[in-house]
Amino acid sequence: MKHVIAWHQLDPSDWAQALDASLRFAGEPQRWERRARDRSICLMFFNPSLRTRTSMEVAAAQLGAHATTLSPGAGTWQMAFADGGVMDGAEAEHIQEAVGVLSRYYDAIGVRLFASLTDYEQDSTDQLVTRFARAASVPVINLESAFFHPCQELADASTIVEQFDGDVRGRKFVLAWCYHPRALPMAVPNSAVTMAARLGMHVTIARPDGYDLDPSVTERATRIAAESGGSVVETSDRIAAFEGAQVIYAKAWGGRQVYTDAEAEAMKRSSLKDWRVTEDSLSLTDDGVFMHCLPVRRNVVVDDAVLDGPSAIHLRQAEYRLYAQKAILELIWKLDAVPA
Ligand code: CP
């Protein structure tokens, strides 16, 4: 049984197989088939979603499977996660029972469980999604946890491979920190740097001082990049970072040093509003394309002119979410090869 929690926990051949499948599905976008007609998946969204929810529902339907989407606490019971807790509060059901029951109805469970942003130790070790997966007896797909977003990661890699016609190794990828009115979790940036490193790209993490990613993530990405022919550097020099870049991947995330102090974090961030992707900053790149996982705040994270301009590939990137979801379902369910 294969859980897809973070790609580095799986065999590299699983990643390679899923990436190939995602690109294959992109070549047959409207294909409806029945390879998974006897399968079902339950999608549990503890947090909001547009792309992940809909792309997984459509992916399941196009493969012939059934998907049920639940929003715990809204139509189903509020759930407790803690081991050994006394459940005398609002939570009426423990994940141990909920996931145990759903494992008996479904052939896979997807779960979205964002970072708490109040407990760095819990978030950085992805304790909640790990606990959730432990309670399951069917494969669990991480639909974005505190620290990783493997579905986004696969879609992003597919988009980049397609953009450069497979000639990706050695290109410059910039993860560009951007201002956002709220401190956001690190799952997407963590996944993005790991993904670009795995593709053998030269990765620059451009972020203000105090916004470095977790050392476990940068160290792993550096190791992976070295094996793939790429590299990873971090800098607070945005201009130098953008120069010669071929991919600008914009993302906001909260500061690690002030993680549990929302007020201090907000204060620190408020002076960083010029960390925004503009046409001027994009002109420093080597014909760089603009990527963002979405949702994105226009004229806060990135200017209209960039999003509506020829360099933006964020909608194709979002389209790839559907093909990546199909590839992940194919992987965990070990579906037979596509009939000729
Ligand atoms: N990028 C992404 O995961 O989008 P949603 O939050 O809308 O699912």
For 317-327, how does the pLDDT look when each residue is reduced to its tens digit (9 = 90+)?
999 999 999 99
Least confident of 75-84, 94-103, 136-145: 75-84
CB 203 within 8 A of CB 196: yes
Determine the distance separating the centroid of ligand 1 and the alpha carbon of 78, expressed in angstroms: 22
Determine the distance separating the centroid of ligand 1 and the alpha carbon of 52, expressed in angstroms: 5
Residue 256's pLDDT is what? 86
Closest ligand 1 atom to 318 CA: 1
Answer whether residue 39 shows pLDDT above 70. Answer: yes
Residue 311's pLDDT is what? 98
Closest ligand 1 atom to 294 CA: 1
Residues of the chain above pLDDT 90, percent: 91
The average confidence (pLDDT) of the chain is: 96
Answer whether residue 54 shows pLDDT above 90. Answer: yes
Closest ligand 1 atom to 143 CA: 3
Determine the distance separating the centroid of ligand 1 and the alpha carbon of 168, expressed in angstroms: 25
Residue 268's pLDDT is what? 87
Query: What is the Cα–Cα distance from 213 to 141, expressed in whole angstroms?
Result: 24
More confident residue, 116 or 251: 251
Closest ligand 1 atom to 48 CA: 6
Residue 321's pLDDT is what? 98
For ligand 1, atom 6: residue with the closest CA: 49
CB 331 within 8 A of CB 21: yes
Answer whether residue 336 shows pLDDT above 90. Answer: no
pLDDT digits (tens, 9 = 90+) for 157-196: 999 999 999 999 999 999 999 999 998 999 999 999 999 9
Which alpha helices (H) appear in the chain, and where do they start and end?
12-26, 51-63, 95-105, 120-124, 127-134, 150-163, 187-198, 215-228, 238-242, 262-270, 279-282, 304-307, 314-332
Confidence of residue 75 (pLDDT cuts 50, 70, 90): confident
The residue among 253, 321, 329 whose CA lies nearest residue 51 is: 321
Give helix then strand counts, H and E, for the chain.
13, 11
Confidence of residue 339 (pLDDT cuts 50, 70, 90): low
Determine the distance separating the centroid of ligand 1 and the alpha carbon of 230, expressed in angstroms: 28
Determine the distance separating the centroid of ligand 1 and the alpha carbon of 87, expressed in angstroms: 31
Answer whether residue 224 shows pLDDT above 60. Answer: yes
More confident residue, 338 or 17: 17
Query: What is the Cα–Cα distance from 336 to 63, expressed in whole angstroms?
Result: 12
Residues of the chain above pLDDT 70, percent: 99
pLDDT digits (tens, 9 = 90+) for 259-304: 888 888 888 889 999 999 999 999 999 999 999 999 999 999 999 9
**328 contact partners, CB below 8 Å, separation of at least 6:** 4, 18, 141, 150, 151, 154
Answer whether residue 218 shows pLDDT above 90. Answer: yes
- Which protein residues touch ligand 1 with a CB less than 6 Å away? 49-52, 144, 152, 293-295
Give the pLDDT mean for 241-253.
98
pLDDT digits (tens, 9 = 90+) for 135-148: 999 999 999 999 99
